[in-house]
């Protein structure tokens, strides 16, 4: 009986030990996942901004409105129905609607002179113009994300350097204090070391305040009031090579801003053609 009790006691002990190890591993896994989720890459920041930027959402809605207007422009005019009743207010046996004359007319407007085609063309170009506006705003948002992300990354690095300076300042202050205590240097040197240390602490405080401002600014690109990340991840000192001038000129001509001006000129011509088509009865 004693052996049986001892056996189950050992089994229970190993079970509790196994459960504790499993729980600890799970906690470490959750902490690792939580820590990684608080780190933000430039691709993640860009994706969040494209999905949740309030201004970009408004431009996307404008695109859908233009698409609906293009569909509406392609529809033929609605037919019209006219009903005319004569002799409804007769006298004697002709009183009421039994002996009245009812005329029903069904009409359909037929557009001539290419009005419908011109209207659809003008609407499609307006839709294309809305696309360029959206793409331009999208590029603006991505540019803002990149600029602010770099500022966050730069300020993070500055805060890290400032904290290292505080450590060095503390070591320097302790060393000077010891030399003052042993009479190797004048007490004024300790005061100077304290001033240097205070300067390092003040600069670190300023850098942390700037970092918080940039973090909030980056979060605002996807409509968040409070930052939902702890830090950003990236290589601040990685510099990409500058493309050739010919490639840059080609890229500039392909930007939404340049394409928008070309489409705007097409829209003016389309509106002129539509107005000319309206002259035809």
**pLDDT above 50 for 7:** no
pLDDT value for 132: 87
Q: What mean pLDDT comes out for the span 33-39?
A: 59
- CA triple 227-233-236, angle to 5 deg: 120
Name the H helices within 83-233. 115-181, 188-220
> Rounded distance, CA 129 to CA 265, Å?
10
- For residues 158 and 6, the model is more confident at 158
What pLDDT digit, counting tens, does each position of 169-204 carry?
Answer: 999 999 999 999 999 999 999 999 999 999 999 999
Spatial distance between the Cα atoms of 144 and 155, rounded to a whole number of angstroms: 16
Q: pTM value?
A: 0.68
pLDDT, tens digit, 9 for 90 and up, residues 88-139: 555 555 555 556 676 766 666 666 667 777 777 788 888 888 888 888 999 9
What the block records as the tokens of 178 is: 């010891």
Query: Residue holding tokens 């990149």?
Result: 146
Closest CA to 219 of 211, 210, 229: 229
d(CA 266, CA 196): 66
Per-residue pLDDT reduced to its tens digit, 224-233: 989 989 999 9
Helix (H) or strand (E) holding 106: strand 101-107
Beta bridge partners of 106: 81
Q: Of residues 2 and 167, which shows the higher confidence score?
A: 167
**More confidently predicted of 231 and 67:** 231
User: Residue 82's beta-bridge partner residues?
Assistant: 105
Give the pLDDT score at 254: 82
Token pair recorded at residue 239: 């510099």
């Amino acid at each position: 009986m004693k052996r049986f009790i001892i056996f189950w006691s050992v089994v229970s002990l190993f079970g509790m030990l196994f459960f504790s190890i499993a729980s600890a591993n799970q906690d470490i896994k959750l902490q690792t996942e939580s820590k990684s989720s608080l780190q933000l890459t430039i691709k993640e920041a860009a994706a969040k901004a494209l999905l949740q930027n309030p201004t970009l959402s408004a431009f996307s809605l404008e695109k859908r409105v233009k698409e609906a207007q293009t569909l509406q422009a392609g529809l033929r005019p609605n037919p019209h129905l006219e009903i005319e009743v004569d002799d409804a207010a007769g006298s004697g046996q002709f009183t009421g609607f039994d002996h009245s004359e009812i005329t029903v007319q069904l009409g359909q407007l037929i557009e001539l002179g290419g009005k419908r085609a011109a209207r659809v063309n003008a609407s499609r170009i307006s839709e294309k113009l809305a696309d360029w506006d959206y793409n331009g705003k999208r590029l603006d948002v991505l540019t803002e994300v990149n600029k602010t992300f770099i500022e966050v990354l730069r300020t993070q690095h500055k805060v890290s350097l400032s904290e290292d300076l505080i450590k060095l300042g503390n070591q320097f202050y302790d060393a000077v204090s010891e030399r003052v205590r042993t009479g190797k240097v004048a007490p004024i040197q300790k005061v100077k070391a304290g001033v240097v240390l205070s300067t390092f602490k003040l600069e670190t405080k300023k850098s942390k305040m700037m970092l918080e401002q940039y973090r909030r600014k980056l979060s605002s690109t996807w409509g968040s009031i409070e930052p939902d990340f702890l830090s950003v991840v990236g290589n601040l000192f990685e510099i990409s090579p500058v493309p050739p001038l010919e490639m840059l000129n080609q890229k500039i001509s392909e930007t939404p801003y340049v394409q928008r001006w070309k489409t705007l000129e097409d829209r003016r011509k389309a509106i002129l053609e539509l107005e000319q088509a309206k002259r035809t009865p």
